[in-house]
A and B are shown apart, each in its own frame.
Chain A
Amino acid sequence: MKAMKLLSIALVAMLALSLLPPGYAQPPPVKKAEERYKAAKSSYLSAMEMYKNARQDFMKIRGPAKRGTVPFDKLQNFVLRSIDAMIAHIELVKARVEMSGALTEEEKSEAIERLDTYVSYLKEKRIEAEQAENREQLLKVGREVRTKWLEVRLEVRKIAGRVIISRIDRILTRAEEIGDRLEVRVEALREAGEDTTELEALLQQYREHLSLAAEKRNTAEEKLNAVTSPEDAGNLREAHTYLRETNRHIKEMFVALRQIARELRDKEVTVTGFGALFARGNGSAVLRGDGGVFVSGNGTLTVKVSSGRVRVVGAGEKQENEDGSVTYRGFGRAKVVGRGIHVSVTGENLLIRAVGRGTAELSGTGEWRTVRVAGSSWSGEVSYGGEVNESS
């Protein structure tokens, strides 16, 4: 009877547990960081609002000539709200650091640890300001906070600058890769006899802004590295100006990118038999065709083109084979444009984009897509575009 009771309890517990989804206990860390950022942003906005109101009250009484005597309660409110705004700002930057996918875990912990020491200091001063019994005590806390804030502001801006630079790096790397893929598509259209003058001009604009963004980013980093004491605040301001400049070029680059994508889409559909293949996965792929092929990933790449151009960027070994093909081991990105293209690739994290017409033999794990069909396994041959001209 006792065993029956125990069994019943166990079953009830299992029933309750079974109703919970398996991922119930732990939300993904990125999601958590995003939620913390949202909360920090909301606290920051309300702390800033209260700080601005307290400052307005304070300034109104003190007057522009600083002659007015601010009552103790107004002064205390201003000191407390100022400290709250400082803490909220640091917490906001901390949340940005936590959320950053561009920093390593070590870099993140180091930055967070430093920011936490500032928060602790300011919290201590807040208690002192709250407990102050007269103007002198309050002003003493105010002076200490003011001195510390100059140092904290500098450090917070330095940390934020590094997070911003890492973010910029990620954007530029992606933009570089997208640019390479767009270039392949433009060149493939030109090979197909299309007028690509406008597209090439846009691509040129895109590349120019990308290069200027990288240049400004480097100067910003140099200025940031030169900041070691509060006296270097000028360098910090300059660094920020360069980061703003970088951002401006990134935005200009994006405008060109959107236009190129739109133009390409319009043109590609008008060329008869012009198709496209997009594949992503691990394993091997052999592509044969006319037009363009873009491949990125880690592994071994062998390329041969009857007439056209090949450009490979990355670190590794290059070997010229007897049949005229070239093998690259440990490649990064490759662009192949022309007629009679033969690309064979084996490796991991492969990203393949082919435009024009041809076939791809895929083997391994991954997904692919052409204009008409999509597949969720790398097994067998996939055709894209029209028939390949065998004589080419």
Chain B
Amino acid sequence: MRAVSLLLTLTLLGLFTGCAQVDGKGQQITPADTQESYPEREAPQSPVNTEDTEIDSLLQEIQTLDEFLGEIEGIDSIEAEF
């Protein structure tokens, strides 16, 4: 009976910690992020940085495009000249 009680306690503890670790999208939640009840907080960066983030992500897309074009050119180097 004691063993069962211990197991029950551990299970409940496990369930709680499991839920607290990861949200639905598989992302870690830190205690600070869960405090959504505060409507305002100090802006971590200026709004201009929001544009910067988009510019960085656009750059990533451009780099991928560049890489892909290079990969396609590689197909011509395979010549079946037996």
Chain B min CB distance to A298 (Å): 20
Range class of the A interface residue count: 35 or more
Chain A residues at the B interface, C-beta cutoff of 8 Å: 4, 7-8, 11-12, 14-15, 18-23, 27-28, 44, 48, 51, 75, 78-79, 82, 85-86, 89, 92-93, 96, 138-139, 142-143, 145-146, 149, 153, 156-157, 160-161, 163-164, 167-168, 170-171, 174-175, 178, 181-182, 240, 243-244, 247, 250-251, 254, 257-258, 261, 264-265, 268, 276-278, 353, 369-377, 379-380
Residues of chain A within 8 A (CB-CB) of B82 are: 75, 78-79, 82, 138-139, 142-143, 145-146
A220 → B minimal CB distance (Å): 11
Q: Which residue of A lies closest to B16 (CB)?
A: A18
B interface secondary structure, majority: helix
Interchain Cβ contacts under 8 Å between A and B, 10 examples: A15-B11, A89-B74, A142-B82, A145-B80, A146-B81, A171-B65, A261-B51, A264-B48, A276-B48, A370-B47
* Cβ contact within 8 Å between A85 and B78: yes
In contact, A89 and B50 (Cβ under 8 angstroms): no
Tell me if B43 and A372 are in contact (CB < 8 A): yes
Q: What 12 new A-B contacts, CB under 8 Å, besides A8-B4, A28-B25, A89-B75?
A: A18-B15, A22-B24, A93-B72, A153-B78, A167-B64, A174-B58, A178-B51, A261-B51, A261-B52, A276-B46, A369-B50, A376-B39
B31 located at the interface, meaning its Cβ lies under 8 Å from any Cβ of chain A in the complex: no
Task: Using CB atoms, name the residue of chain A closest to B61.
Answer: A171
Judging by beta carbons under 8 Å apart, are A164 and B68 in contact?
Answer: yes
B-chain residues with CB within 8 Å of residue A79 when the two chains form the complex: 82
Within the assembled complex, what's the spacing in Å between the Cα atoms of A277 and B46? 10
